[in-house]
Structures are given as structure tokens and as C-alpha cells.
Amino acid sequence: MEFDPCQYCFERDLRLHAEGGTVEAIIMARILITSALPYINGVKHLGNLAGSMLPADVYARAMRLMGHEVLYICATDEHGTPAELAAQAANMPVAEYCEQMHAAQKEAGAHFGLSYDYFGRSSAASTAKLTQHFATVLENNGLIEERVSKQVYSNADGRYLPDRYVEGTCPNCGFEKARGDQCDNCGKLLDPVDLINPYSSVSGSHDVEIRDTNHLYLLQSKMSDNLRNWVNEATGWPPLATSIAMKWLDEGLRDRSITRDLDWGIPVVNADGAVREGFDGKVFYVWFDAPIAYIGATQDWAAENNSDWERWWRTDKGAEDVQYVQFMGKDNVAFHTLSFPTTLKGSQEPWKLVDQLKAFNWVTWYGGKFSTSQGRGVFMDQASELAPGDYWRWYLMANAPEGSDAAFTWEEFQSSINSDLANVLGNFVNRITKYCVGKFDGKIPEGGAAGEAEAWIIAELQTRLPQLIAYYEAREFRKAMAETRAIWAAGNEYLTKAAPWTHYKTDIEMAAIGVRTGLNLVVLFAIIAQPIIPDTAEKILAALNIPKENRKWSFGDANGIAELIDALPIGLEVAAPELLFSKIEDDDVAAWAERFGGGADKV
């Protein structure tokens, strides 16, 4: 039977809101989404994925399904000493290394279904030009000044050391592995010259000395009151983000050096483009130029797509209507709530500032942190060898580190996939589609009248679908995943109540209504699964011949939601999709634990 799109369309003009059950008109929005830039020194680990890129993607996908205009921008963060050291270790020129790693990170993201609208590079000419522009206007506005500063020079390494590559004893709490920028034990902000017994974390050498060197400083202290007022007025930020910003402000916002003695990076130039006097061999600091790459990457996206970047970033060009949402781990919060806003606000130009900032805690690895530099944990390219991307997407979002750090274990990964995906969703889809193929020739059956079982599932959906949308809009991902699972589980409960296989021999009409309703639920369950497990959702929707234009997320009012369980046209041919999820066996867990570690003694 030919499919009639008008008979089966989830798009509607109204939808039910969770609060009070009122029906409101959908207001389409323009949403700019950025996730913290993954650093270039290797493919990122699962902690990086869970703390920024993946939730940004899930949110972007959900908002697109609701009909909003979404632009999701990310890029590799390519400057700084770690890039130089990683290239040196790989015995490659740093520019070539960065190009190679950009391609590797883009490929790793593709395996996990990261739906960037553009994945750029902080080393792009667009970002260099913008960085130099901001430096010029900030200096003209009295927010940048040149200072002679004292920095740690490692004779063994033959280089000045960035703050976090100097380690020593914290002068505040006595922690012996404090970094030069911050003590991870007490959280106090530090300067490398304050450390007791400093040494190079690159070589481990204590042959270091303090030298004078000229650098440009961003005078964040002048913006402190302005930033405090802005943070206080912010809405849509989780307490984690606000508390980190306020901690830095309460401790006294420091003026920060925005240049470094390095070869790889954006040159420090005058307004005429000539290298600033005394700044040969110096470049802009990675944390000054990296957030600017959000704008630069948007410019590059616009150039490739014949579009207008200013309507996303300039409030005098239409960006005042944009909702800007940032995603990041907690270690990046200070730079996005204070340093980058200092740049944008301090320029006195009409730049778009973040509206909602979603900050995450860490995914921990058997009692410690995932670590790129120490190779601890599972990395995205390795994870792609072990299991499909959808498995990781589901597990990491269902256990998103929102309220606190979230511990990764192989056993919990196994349990989550086997229980939530294989037993709940996979079992439901498999049971009803195979039954339809076997008993109703693979066609949507007609006949039968809705009864108590159908009334029950309608009531469940009328409560749960609006709540699910509300969780996504609030970026409460754990709750959204739990609600999604609950909806899937309700499908299995419906089949128990309807029992079409029991009725088949005695009342074919009752069997037909159960199968028809079950197949409509299969489609609905796949539609709501699209932001989380997009590859699996595509397999299900393709097997049931659902056109792409009919996979949206506007479910209508209470009556519209009721219609969802009888929306497929009678006679539509459907197929049972191939096995959706293979269970993770104990032998798999044992092998992975042996390869990657799986206990405190292996950290």
C-alpha cells in the first residue's frame, strides 16, 4: 500500500506543556549551540565526550526535531604548549600534527553521531583575524596592558613553561602536586612563581628559574563588578556553573596574561598587521583565542554554506533573537563565564553573550579522572571498536554527570545496555514487529475498538510526552533519559495488558487493535529515541517506512497525543528490523577490563 504522509504526521501547531497541562502555541527559536573545544593532543576520552560534545549534540538533535533553527558549532583547540609537545612526541611538525588530529577527532565524532553543523579549527585564519581584532579593541578600551612578568623557565626543556606545566607544593594547603594555575586539592587559584619547590611536569626537572618576560595582560579585574552583575542576572545556568563563577569572583578576579613565549599560535600584531615590538616569538595564549574560535568557526561555516554568520553573533544584525547555549565540563566554566565574556563585553561591540550555560561534573574512571596526558580510561576511537556508538551515547547520557561526578564501570555499562536497550526497547520492537510479520502478513491490521489497555497507554503518553519535552528544554538529561526509558517500558506493559497473541485464536479484532497500537508505539518510541540513539532510531523508522519529514517532535495537545497510537495507515507494509542490540556478555566485560583496566589497583 502506498504511504499517505497526510495520514501519519507527528507535526502539529500546538503541543501540551507539562506545567498545568495547558496548550500553548509553539514558538520557533533560533538556537546557537557550542560545546567546549576538544584539545588537539589526541582523540578525546569518554569523559570529554560526556561533558560537552555529546550532551550538546543530544540537545541540538532534540531542538531540531521540535522545529527550531539550530546551529551547532565546535572546533579543535590547536594552540599552546601541549600541542607542541604532542607533535614533538609524534616526530611531526606541529601544523601537520594538528591537521592529522583534527581529521582523527572529526572521524571519532562521526562514529558517535555528533551532528555538528560545522567542526572547525582554532588555527583557522578567521579565528586569527578575530583574535587580533579583539586584542586591539580591548587595548584601546583600556583592558589590555603590557607588563613585565615573572615566568618559570625550564633549562632542561629549553622553554618557558605554561602555568599548568609547572608543578610543586601548594603554598595554601601543602598539596605536593599542585599545578601552576590552580591547586586541585584546595581549589585555590595560583601563580607558578608561588609554588614551593617548582619543577617541570614535562621533563620532571627541578632545574627551573624565574625569568622576566614581557606579556599582554587582560585586565579582568576592571570588569569584576560588571561580570558579577551579569552572572547574578543569568538564568538557565545550573548551580555548578554559577558557583564556580562566583568562587573566582569572590577570591578576586585576576588580570591574566593572554600571550605566551611560543612559536605555534596566533602572532601578536599591531593594528596595521605588523608584529608588535618586542613580541617576536610570542603568540596569544590558547585560552584567549580558543573561545573566539566559536565565532571564527561560524564565519567559516557561513562562507561554505553561503550564509550569514552575523545573524548568530552580532546583536545589531539579528542575534538579539538568538538563544545561545554553551556546554562544557566544570574545568572550563571560569573561562566561559569570566574570561570570554570579558573579551566580548570589554570590546564594547554588539556581540552575543551566552544565555544558558550547561556545566557538567566529571565522569570518573575507577576512582580517578579520565586523563588524555596519562592515557587513562577509554578513548573515543577505542570505544568505537568495542561497541556501536548508540550504546555509548545511551549509557553516558543516562548517567550524565550533572549533579555530581559519575563513576564509569564496565559492569554498569553492561547492565545499562542489556537492561535499557536490549530488554526494554529492543524486546518491545522485536516482539510486536515479528508478530505482525508472522500473523498479519507484515501489514498494519484493521479492525478492533480501543479498550482499557489503549486508554491506559494514552493516559501514560499524555503525562509522559510533555514531561519528556520539558526535560529536554531544561537540559536535564538524566531525567530525559529516565523518562524515555519509562515510555519504552510502558510499551511493554501495554503489550502485557493487550496480549494480542492471547486473543489471536479467539478474537482476531482484539488481536488487531493490540498489534496496530503496538506498531504505532514502535514508531513513537523510535521518534523520541532519535536524539539519543540516532542510528537505532533510523533502523526502526526505516523498517516501518516512515518518511523523514514525518519524524518530528510536535505531538499536539491531549487529543493529538491520543491519536498517535492509531496514526499508521491500515495496510501499510512494515518489516521487523534486524537485531537492534546485542547483549554485552560477561566475557566481554572481562576482556575489556583486562585491556583497559577495571579496578582501583589498575588505575
User: Under a CB-based contact definition with an 8 Å cutoff, are residues 51 and 402 in contact?
Assistant: no
Chain centre distance of CA 477: 11
Q: Residue 13: what pLDDT?
A: 34
pLDDT at 34 over 90: yes
All residues at 6 or more sequence positions from 172 whose CB lies less than 8 Å from its CB, including other chains: 183, 186, 188, 190
Residue 555 has pLDDT above 70, yes or no: yes
User: Which contiguous run of DSSP H or E holds residue 88?
Assistant: helix 81-89
Mean pLDDT for the stretch of residues 449-462: 94
On the CB side of 182, CA atoms within 13 Å amount to: 11
Decide if pLDDT at 567 tops 80: yes
List all residues 6 or more positions away from 317 whose beta carbon is below 8 Å from its beta carbon. Answer: 308, 310, 311, 350
Average pLDDT of the segment spanning 263-268 = 95
Predicted confidence band at 338 (pLDDT cuts at 50, 70, 90)?
A: very high
pLDDT band at residue 473, thresholds of 50, 70 and 90?
very high
- Rounded distance between C-alpha atoms, residue 146 and residue 426, angstroms: 62
DSSP string, 12-65: -SEEE-TTTT-EEE----EEEEEEPPPBSSSSPBHHHIIIIIHHHHHHHHHHHH
DSSP 279-307: -TT-EE-HHHHHHHHHHHHHHHHHHHHT-
Domains and CATH numbers, the chain: 5-25+413-566 (1.10.730.10), 30-141+288-408 (3.40.50.620)
Confidence at 27, pLDDT banded by 50, 70, 90:
low
Residues 207, 216: Cα–Cα separation, whole Å: 26
Q: Is 34 annotated as a binding residue?
A: no
Alpha helices by DSSP H, listed for 474-585, are 477-498, 500-503, 508-529, 534-543, 558-563
The amino acid sitting at 451 is G
Using the predicted structure, report yes or no on whether residue 296 has a pLDDT greater than 50: yes
Task: Provide the pLDDT for residue 78.
Answer: 97
* AA letter at 436: C
**3-class SS of residue 362:** coil
- Is residue 218 within 8 A of residue 341, CB to CB? The reply is no
The pairs formed by 585-590 with CB atoms below 8 angstroms and a separation of 24 or more are 586/414, 588/386, 588/414, 589/410, 589/411, 589/414
Q: What is the pLDDT of residue 12?
A: 34
| 484 annotated as belonging to a binding site for a ligand | no
pLDDT above 70: percentage of residues in the chain:
95
Summarize the confidence of residues 240-261 as an average pLDDT: 94
pLDDT grade, residue 406 (50/70/90)?
very high
User: Is the predicted pLDDT of residue 77 greater than 90, yes or no?
Assistant: yes
Close Cβ partners of 476 (under 8 Å, ≥ 6 residues apart): 402
Res. 602: pLDDT tops 60: no
Per DSSP, the chain holds a count of helices (H) and strands (E) of 22, 19
213 appears as a binding residue in the annotation: no
Could you tell me which residues are beta bridge partners of residue 260? Answer: 283
Is the pLDDT assigned to residue 234 strictly greater than 90? Answer: yes
Work out whether the CA dihedral 233, 239, 245, 251 comes out positive or negative. positive
pLDDT at position 22: 41
Q: Does 372 carry a binding-site annotation? A: yes
Chain mean pLDDT for the chain = 91
Cell (9 digits) for 402 = 550533572
**Cell matching residue 136:** 586591539
Lookup: cell for 21: 497541562
Q: C-alpha grid cell for residue 150?
A: 615573572
Task: Round to whole Å and give the CA distance between 189 and 93.
Answer: 34
CB within 8 Å of 158: residues ≥ 6 apart? none
H/E run at residue 70: strand 69-76
Q: Spell out the long-range contacts of 464-471 with Cβ–Cβ below 8 A and sequence spacing 24 or more.
A: 464/490, 465/16, 465/528, 465/555, 465/561, 466/15, 466/16, 466/17, 466/18, 466/21, 467/18, 468/528, 469/15, 469/18, 469/66, 469/553, 469/555, 470/17, 470/18, 470/19
Q: How far apart are CA 192 and CA 157, in angstroms?
A: 16
The predicted structure's pLDDT at residue 368: 81
CA distance 210 to 154: 9
pLDDT tens for residues 152-189? 999 998 888 888 789 999 999 999 999 998 888 888 87
Give the percent of the chain with pLDDT over 90.
79
- CA 490/CA 455 separation, integer angstroms: 12
pLDDT tier at 26, thresholds 50, 70, 90: low
- The H or E element spanning position 200 is strand 196-200
The answer to the question of whether 98 is labelled as a binding residue is no
Helix pair angle (508-529, 427-439), 10° resolution:
140
